[in-house]
Amino acid sequence: MNRREFLIDAAAATALFGLGPQSSKARDAEIQILLDEPIGTIDPNLHGHFIEHIGGVIYDGVWVGEDSTIPNIGGIRKALTDGLSRLRIPVLRWPGGCFADSYDWKDGIGPRSKRSCRTNFWINDPFLAQAPPGAAKYEPNAFGTDEFIRFCRIVGAEPYIAVNLRSLTALDFDHWVEYCNSPLGSTSFATMRAQNGSCEPYNVRFWGVGNESWGCGGNFTPAEYAGEFRRFATWIPEYGVNLRLIGSGPNADDFQWTRGFFEGLTAKGKAQLDTLFGWALHYYCGTSGKGDAVDFSIDDWYGLLKKADLMESLIQQHWSIMGEVDTEHKVKLVVDEWGAWHRAGTEVDRSFLFGQMPTMRDALITALTLDTFHRHADKVPMANVAQLINNLHCLFLAHEDKFVATTNFHVFEMYKAHQGGQAVRTMIGASPIPFTSPNGPSSLWGLAGSASLQKKRLVLTVVNPHVHEECSAEINLRGGSARSCTIRTLAASDIHAHNSFENPHAVEPQDTAVTLRDKPVWTFKPASVTKLEFELG
C-alpha cells in the first residue's frame, strides 16, 4: 500500500515522524507537519491538575501536617512539591469534585486546632465501609483555602476553586471571593485573611460554579442549573481581578445538558454569555466495575485506548452545540476532569477511595488525550486531569513515608515542552489496528500525536498503541526543515508495567541521540509514547 493512501487528518486521528534506521519488521507510516497551518496556542493550563478531599488525595497525599516526621513544607508533603517542580504545573483545581458541593469554606480557615470536623461527602461510598474512621470519612479541615493557596504558590500553579452551589448560597460565594481577593484594609474578610497569614490578596481568577450539577452537585435539569448559574454569576465583587467563571458542563456525551444550559443561560439575552469563561466537560474512560487497573488483556488495552480517544469527538460535538447559541464562540471548553477510571483493588491503602495503580496503558491514555487537547487548542484553554495523587489516573502515589511517581507523571513531564507553543496541523497516516471489543470487531488508529512550534523549536509527540509492532514513519516538515533533533521515549516490554513503592523506576523515559537525515524516519517502539524535539533551520 502506498503510504499516502492512508494519510488522515490529524483532527480525526494523529501523526508521526522519524530519523534513523528503519526496521524491516515495522509497520509503515507517514507524518506530515504543516508548519504554516497554526491551530492555536497551547495554553499551559491544558496541562492542569485537580485535588479533591476524597480518599487519600489531600490527607496523606498532599497534606502530612507540620508536625509530621515525613519531610514537609509547612505541612505539605515535600516529595510532592519536589516532584511537581519537575513539571510546569500551570493550574490546580480544588476542593472537588463532588466534595465541593458539600464544602463550607469557612470551616477551613483560622487556627487549625479550632477548625470543625465534618462528615466527608464520600462517607457513604460502599468502598469506605470497611475503612477505619479517619480523614477519608471525617473531614478534619486542616487543609483549607490558605493551605491550598500556599500549595499553589510553592508549586507555581494558578488556583482554580470550585464553589458549593448545591448546599450554600450565592452570598457564601461572594464572601469566598471577598476573602481571597479583597485588598487589606477594605473588608473584614481581608483582615481575617491577613490574620491567617496573607496580607496580600490571593487574586483567584478561576471559579467553578458548582460541580456535576446534573448529578452529585444538585441533580438539576439544564434549565434549572442555568437559572442557578445566572444567580451565582450576577454582580460578584471583582476587586480588580478579571474573574473567569466556569460552568458545570456535561458528563461525556450528554449533549442535551449542553444545549439546554446554553438556551437557559441566554433566555434573558446573549449578554449573559459574557459571564461564562468556560464550560466544563467531564469525561472518564472506563468506569468502576468494568476493568482492573493492572490485570487486563490485549483487547482490554485497545478497548480502553479507543474509549479514551472519544475525547476527540466529544470536544467537537459539544463545541458545535455551544456554537448554536454562542455563535462567536466566546465561551471555551474546559475539560476539568478526565482520565481512566478502573475498578477498585490496587489502592495503596484501605481508605484511598478511587486510588488506583497507573500502568503503561494509562500513560498512553495521558499522551493521546493531551495530544487531542493540543489539536483543539483553539477550543480548549484548560484541562485538569483527575486526580493528582492517590486517585484516578494519578501522577503520584504516597502513603506515610512512601512516595512514587507513576507512568502518568513521565508523560506530563515529557509533554510540558508543548506548553505555550503554537499547535500546528499534523497529518498521520498509519494502518489501523484491529481488535475485538465487547461489542464485536473494532479498530484503533495506528499512530496518533500532535505538534507545536515555539520560535525555531518544533515539538512532536506520538503514541504507538500497537502492543507488539514497531511503526516506522517518515516525517515530513512542510514549510521548514530541521537542523537537529532529540528524542525521548516512554516504553516498556510489558504493557502492564507500572511504578510502585517497591519498584519505583520500573518505567522511565529514555533519551536517544540521533543524526538527522534528509528524509527522517523514526521507528516508534510498540506500546510507546515518544517526544521528538527539532531545532529548525
| Residues catalogued as catalytic | 212, 337
Angle between helix 255-265 and 222-233 (nearest 10): 50
**487-520 b/e (C-beta count within 10 Å ≥ 16 → b):** bbbbbbeebebbbeeeeeebbebeeeebebeeeb
Q: What is the rounded distance in angstroms from the CA atom of residue 330 to the CA atom of residue 275?
A: 10
Per CB under 6 A, the segment of 92-100, 165-173, 179-187, 396-404 that binds ligand AHR is: 92-100
Provide the 8-state DSSP code for 22. P
Per CB under 6 A, the segment of 22-30, 91-99, 419-427, 521-529 that binds ligand AHR is: 91-99
Q: What is the rounded distance in angstroms from the CA atom of residue 529 to the CA atom of residue 526?
A: 9
**Contacts of residue 271, Cβ cutoff 8 Å, sequence gap at least 6:** none
Retrieve residue 354's grid coordinates: 478511587
Per the CB < 8 A criterion, the answer to whether 487 and 452 are in contact is no
Could you say which residues in the range 284-343 bind ligand AHR, by CB under 6 A? 337
Closest to ligand AHR by CB, 336 or 469: 336
In the bound complex, which residue of the shown chain has the CB atom lying closest to ligand AHR? 97
Q: What is the rounded distance in angstroms from the CA atom of residue 422 to the CA atom of residue 378?
A: 10
Q: State which of residues 212, 349, 371, 474 lies at the interface with ligand AHR (CB under 6 A).
A: 212
Closest to ligand AHR by CB, 100 or 453: 100
Closest to ligand AHR by CB, 319 or 354: 354
Could you say which residues in the range 390-449 bind ligand AHR, by CB under 6 A? 392
To ligand AHR, the closest distance from the beta carbon of 500 in angstroms equals 22
To ligand AHR, the closest distance from the beta carbon of 315 in angstroms equals 19
Q: How is 331-385 classified by DSSP, letter by letter?
A: SEEEEEEEEE-PPSS--SSTT-TT-----HHHHHHHHHHHHHHHHTTTT--EEEE
Per CB under 6 A, the segment of 79-87, 93-101, 313-321, 418-426 that binds ligand AHR is: 93-101
Q: How is 387-455 classified by DSSP, letter by letter?
A: -SBSSTT-SEEEETTEEEE-HHHHHHHHHGGGTT-EEEEEEEEE--EEEEETTEEEEE-S-EEEEEEET
Question: Using the rule CB under 6 A, is 362 a contact of ligand AHR?
Answer: no
Question: Using the rule CB under 6 A, is 92 a contact of ligand AHR?
Answer: no
Per CB under 6 A, the segment of 94-102, 175-183, 195-203, 505-513 that binds ligand AHR is: 94-102
To ligand AHR, the closest distance from the beta carbon of 200 in angstroms equals 31
CA dihedral 123, 127, 133, 137 (to 10 degrees): -30
Per CB under 6 A, the segment of 96-104, 420-428, 433-441, 451-459 that binds ligand AHR is: 96-104
Q: What does each C-alpha distance from 57 to 69, 80, 388 come to in angstroms?
A: 19, 12, 8
To ligand AHR, the closest distance from the beta carbon of 437 in angstroms equals 24
Could you say which residues in the range 333-352 bind ligand AHR, by CB under 6 A? 337
Q: Which amino acid type is present at position 505?
A: H
To ligand AHR, the closest distance from the beta carbon of 166 in angstroms equals 12
To ligand AHR, the closest distance from the beta carbon of 354 in angstroms equals 6
To ligand AHR, the closest distance from the beta carbon of 73 in angstroms equals 26
To ligand AHR, the closest distance from the beta carbon of 52 in angstroms equals 5
Question: Using the rule CB under 6 A, is 386 a contact of ligand AHR?
Answer: yes
Closest to ligand AHR by CB, 127 or 354: 354
Q: State which of residues 14, 32, 102, 211 lies at the interface with ligand AHR (CB under 6 A).
A: 211
Quick note: the x/- pattern for ligand AHR over 469-508, rule CB under 6 A, is ----------------------------------------
Count of CB atoms within 10 A of residue 169's CB?
A: 12
Q: State which of residues 43, 52, 147, 413 lies at the interface with ligand AHR (CB under 6 A).
A: 52
Per CB under 6 A, the segment of 22-30, 95-103, 254-262, 407-415 that binds ligand AHR is: 95-103
User: Among all chains, which residue has been given the C-alpha cell 476532569?
Assistant: 337
Provide the 8-state DSSP code for 525. P
Q: What is the rounded distance in angstroms from the CA atom of residue 351 to the CA atom of residue 294?
A: 19
Q: How far is CA 239 from the centre of its chain?
A: 29
Closest to ligand AHR by CB, 96 or 108: 96
Per the CB < 8 A criterion, the answer to whether 531 and 461 are in contact is yes
Q: State which of residues 61, 75, 90, 97 lies at the interface with ligand AHR (CB under 6 A).
A: 97
Closest to ligand AHR by CB, 97 or 381: 97
* Total of residues contacting ligand AHR (CB under 6 A): 11
To ligand AHR, the closest distance from the beta carbon of 294 in angstroms equals 20
* 492-496: Cβ within 8 A, 24+ apart: 492/360, 492/527, 494/360, 495/298, 495/301, 495/359, 495/360, 495/361, 495/467, 495/527, 496/294, 496/295, 496/296, 496/359, 496/360, 496/361
Q: State which of residues 248, 387, 419, 499 lies at the interface with ligand AHR (CB under 6 A).
A: 387
**Contacts of residue 388, Cβ cutoff 8 Å, sequence gap at least 6:** 49, 50, 51, 57, 61, 62, 92, 394, 395, 396
With residues binned 3-state (H G I as helix, E B as strand, rest as coil), the percentages for the chain, rounded to 5, are: 30, 30, 45
Closest to ligand AHR by CB, 29 or 392: 392
Closest to ligand AHR by CB, 366 or 426: 366
Q: What is the rounded distance in angstroms from the CA atom of residue 325 to the CA atom of residue 480?
A: 40
Per CB under 6 A, the segment of 90-98, 141-149, 370-378, 401-409 that binds ligand AHR is: 90-98
Footprint of ligand AHR on this chain (CB under 6 A)? Answer: 52, 96-98, 211-212, 337, 354, 386-387, 392
